[in-house]
Structure 1
Amino acid sequence: MSDSLWGLCEESRVSASSRRNLIGGALAAAIVAWAGRSALAQLTVGKTHRKPLITIFLRGAMDGLTALAPIGDDDYFKNRPTIKVTNALKLDGFFGLHPALGALHSLYLEGNLAPLHAVGSLDQSRSHFEAMAVMERGAASDPATIPSGWVARYLMALPDDNPSPLRGVAFNTIMPDILRGATSAMAINELSDLKLNATPSLRGALEGLYAHGKDAAAIAGRETLEVLTVLEKLDPKRYVPGGGAKYPESNLGNGLRQTAMLLKAGVGVETACLDRGGWDTHVGQNTPYLAQQLQDVGDSLGAFTKDLGAQLDDVTIVVMTEFGRRVAENSGLGTDHGRASAWFVVGGSVKGGKVYARWPGLKDEQLEAPGDLKVTLDYRDVLTEVAAGQIGREKAAALFPSAPGKLPGLFGPA
């Protein structure tokens, strides 16, 4: 990481807002200790007018040649005589979406979806663990060179005026690497866990205790009680999504439903990180399994965007995967670990309705040994452009040291 970015991170850690967060966290912990311990032990509330960033990591190496099939390339059909996509939803005449991604096709036609192909990193290991670590930390090829997650650094690069530790939320049992090092983030499974079982008399006493005063403790106390009041009204079981949206009954669907609730509640969320596993399809890509996986992603995103409605204009969603699959099908009618894959960027401000790809071709001489789709779009350039909309080009580039700097032009001229 560059010296300027480390300096930025260090300055953020010792800022007045960070010190106030520490006071607020300690105070919230004390309140919880009095009223019954819960996951709110470090919560304070903050409001932000910045555009939230949502990341969805498809762990296990999604087959981009199935999700976003190059139907205009004859060599695609030659390499995949059995598992090829023959009924793709046409996009630009060359690429087509898997039919299970009908919800994404609608977003594409509306101009809110930008598919990208031949995306990847410089990592050559073809190891899930290594490749995911590279992308979550924003590294070139060695994750050990950068100790923090790129989303954590992104939060640090934003203006230091949002005191909420809910700035970053991961719907996970543990904090993922992508948020490693963030001081204002938490990993949760269910919003229903974020509640405080206080008696009315205790709540009244606390409100009276912190009703006045301009010191950090009094302000943090009021903020803690405010977030308690807001979050206690968020009941995922009773939540009615907007626009008639219907989320799939899956982990991803549930996570995006709760993300929408948080964004609508205005509790200072600036980024949410979600996962969807199960993409390591070494066998049986001709079975319904992969289609069901894609269906869940498409329907979950379709419901989320419909639920947000006009608020989608202020949200950017990145769907990423660590690498793709081998171009040729194997004897088990699946695909082995490969290199480049397909990504998706969704949002009201994205220049959607077109596929972003520097297509390398699928002839034998065009592939990367031992038979993989070449990476022609560095993932760091995609994320640099996504981040630049909120923190500017210079700070965004500092998140990803030594990136090529060939932005795809997702939000305007590259």
Structure 2
Amino acid sequence: MSKLLMTRRRFLATTGCSVAAAPAMTPMAFASAPWDTRLVVLILRGGMDGLDVVRPIGDPAFAEARPTLAAGDGLPLDGFYTLHPALAPLHPLWEAGELGFAHAVSTPYRDKRSHFDGQDLLEAGTGFDVTTGATRDGWLNRMLQHVPGLEADTAYAIGREDLLMLAGAAPVANWTPGTRLDLSPQARRLFEMIYEEHPVYQAAVLEALDLTEDIAAAEAAASAEDDDGAMAAMMAEASGNGAHMEMAEFAVERLRGDTRIAAFSLGGWDTHGKQATSLPKALRQLSDVINVMRIGLGPLWGKTGVLAMTEFGRTVRENGSHGTDHGTGGLMLTAGGALRGGKVYGRWPGLDEAALYDRRDLMPTEDVRAYAARAMEGLFGISGNVLSGKVFPGLDFSQAPRIVL
């Protein structure tokens, strides 16, 4: 290949395997998106129990189905639902209209209740069985394919695992927590010498190094400007100050700049036993992430929408281990100043046994993809024809509520 044909982006993409430990070495470039709004998508891996997170205490069958898990007081929402106490730090967002939920939602996935298949279908965003190879790209990437002129850093896949949701033909940048490039001046000079006779290659490497230094400088500046200490306090109180906080901080850093879409996943939602102990830990991490983004984005929070989605819900009845098993209908969380919060969306199907799916699970009454479609339509101006024809093939979201202000 002629070095004239080796562009900087292609160089960074083809060298990513050998220097994957450095965020600056992912395929990225700088370009402004055609919109100023932001979207963050959180995948809650493991199957979050939406019936415990947003509790339908107004349904008389709820307490009967959950003799231990339904006990205790939740935070008031709308009279029919209460909020799990572990999400207390987010309750002010509900009162401010910046936190909402969609209940009894699901993907088209049914019956097998496999984490892997359920997550693949959630991220593919299609009605196909992705395990057959019918599709291997994701709904966020398909949306990006229909926005001309975007560069890689418009969207970020964040974390140590692949995100099918952002896989596809559109350029996307990647970053893994805990992987910073730290080169001495001597090492930098070595890079310059190695590529001295190949100026295109050399420019690409030096651009990557400069980007890493800019990121570090931005982090230091953000820390210095945090006058009221809100972010520092949030970090100090976070559960273990783990990877979820690193990912949230990095998302904030990029969303303050040219990035418009960030996606990452949070684990810990598979609560087969001792749910009253394990679920609060996962909820506190989710709360940490959302509040870090709210504080860190500042005025940009008013232009931001956050969608937290899970592969399926859990059984209505608690099991003998005081947990819940894999189910069907679940819960979606929305946050951000750009979205209509202060409301639990969705048509409640009831918890009487005859109303349950397969006489065991919450019956889905809305496709979770419909809310994602409404978010992209309202935030980015993506047309309904593109959303229902290309991004979510065959999806009819005409009856879904408009969740963007």
Matches of 2:286 and 2:91 in 1, distance apart? 12
The 1-side partners of 2:293 and 2:73 are apart by: 26
8 Å contact from structure 1 (residues 69, 85) kept in 2: no
CA distance in 2, matches of 1:199, 1:74: 70
Q: Deviations over 1:361-412 (max 9, x none)?
A: 0011111114110001101111111111312333222310111323222126
The Cα of 1:316 is off from its aligned counterpart by 1.3
Q: Normalization by structure 1: what TM-score?
A: 0.81
Q: CA deviation at 1:88?
A: 0.8
Match for 1:168 among 149, 155, 178? 155
Which residue of the other structure, out of 120, 123, 145, is the alignment partner of 1:133? 120
Deviation at 1:187, TM superposition (A): 3.0
Look up the match of 1:9.
none
> Do the aligned partners of 1:24 and 1:43 also contact (CA within 8 Å) in 2?
no
8 Å CA contact 1:384–1:407 kept in 2: the answer is no
Q: Find the aligned partners of 1:324 and 1:174 in 2 and give their Cα distance.
A: 22
Pairing 1:106-185 to 2, within 5 Å after superposition: 106-124=92-110, 125-143=112-130, 144-160=133-149, 162-163=150-151, 165-185=152-172
**Unmatched tracts of structure 1, length 5 or more:** 1-19, 210-215
Q: 1:47 aligns with which of 32, 36, 40?
A: 32
CA distance in 2, matches of 1:237, 1:194: 19
1:45–1:224: 8 Å Cα contact kept in structure 2? no
* Residue aligning to 2:312: 323
Identify which range, 44-53 or 90-99, moves more after superposition: 44-53
- C-alpha separation between the residues in 2 aligned to 1:283 and 1:221? 50
* Structure 1 partner of 2:386: 395
The answer to whether the 8 Å contact 2:28/2:172 transfers is no
* Residues 18-57 of structure 1 aligned to structure 2 (within 5 Å): 23-26=7-10, 38-41=22-25, 42-48=27-33, 49-57=35-43
Residue 271 of structure 2: aligned partner: 281
SS at match of 2:67: coil
2:320 alignment partner AA: S
Count of residue correspondences: 380
Q: 1:96 to 1:346 in 2, by over 3 A?
A: same
What secondary structure, in the 3-state scheme, does the structure 2 residue paired with 1:403 have? coil
Task: Measure, in 1, the Cα distance between the counterparts of 2:20 and 2:117.
Answer: 41
Give the CA deviation at 1:46.
2.6
- Is residue 325 of structure 2 the alignment partner of residue 336 of structure 1? yes
CA pair 335-196 structure 1, distance change in 2 beyond 3 A: same
1:270 shift after superposition: 2.3
Cα displacement (A) at 1:303: 2.5
Counterpart of 1:258?
250
The amino acid across from 2:79 in the alignment is G
Query: Once the 2 structures are TM-superposed, how far is the Cα of residue 145 of structure 1 from its aligned partner?
Result: 2.9
Q: Which amino acid aligns with 2:64?
A: K
The answer to whether the Cα contact below 8 Å between 1:28 and 1:44 also exists between their aligned partners in 2 is no
The answer (yes or no) to whether the contact 1:73–1:362 under 8 Å persists in 2 is yes
**TM-aligned CA distance change 1:38 to 1:198, over 3 Å:** farther
Q: 1:319-374 deviations in whole A, cap 9, x for unaligned?
A: 01000110011111111111111111112121111110200000111111141100
Q: Contact 2:23/2:174 (CA < 8 Å) preserved in 1?
A: no
Q: Is the 8 A contact 2:98 2:335 kept in 1?
A: yes
Instruction: Give the superposition deviation at 1:237.
Output: 11
Q: Which amino acid aligns with 2:251?
A: T
CA contact (8 A) 2:28 2:173 kept: no
Q: Give the match's secondary structure for 1:312.
A: helix
Distance 1:40 1:119 in 2: 38
Q: Which secondary structure state, in structure 1, belongs to the residue aligned with residue 345 of structure 2?
A: coil
Cα contact 1:58–1:279 (8 A) shared by 2: yes
- Report the residue type matching 2:252 in the other structure: A
The alpha-carbon distance between structure 1 residues 316 and 191, as it changes in their structure 2 partners (threshold 3 A), is farther
Change (3 A) 1:199 1:396: farther
Contact 1:252–1:276 under 8 Å retained in 2: yes
1:211-290 equivalences in 2 (<5 Å): 227-235=211-219, 239=223, 242=226, 244-245=230-231, 246-247=234-235, 248=238, 249-264=241-256, 266=257, 268-286=258-276, 288-290=277-279
Q: Supply the distance in 2 between the matched residues of 1:285 and 1:200 (Cα, whole angstroms).
A: 50
- How far did residue 37 of structure 1 move? 9.1
- Aligned equivalent of 1:60: 46
Task: Please tell me the root mean square deviation across aligned C-alpha atoms, in Å.
Answer: 3.4
Displacement after TM superposition at 1:220 (Å): 7.2
Paired with 2:180 and 2:206, the residues of 1 have a C-alpha distance of 21
Deviations, residues 102-151 of structure 1 (Å, cap 9, x unaligned)? 12211111111121110102211211111111110001252243220111
Distance 1:82-1:30 versus aligned 2 partners, 3 A rule: closer
CA offset digits 1:136-168 (Å, max 9, x no partner): 0001252243220111112222231x33x2222
Counterpart of 2:109 in 1: which secondary structure? coil
CA separation of 1:21 and 1:352: change in aligned 2, threshold 3 A: farther
Task: Provide the residue aligned with 2:90 in structure 1.
Answer: 104
- State how far apart, in whole Å, the 2-side matches of 1:197 and 1:159 are: 39
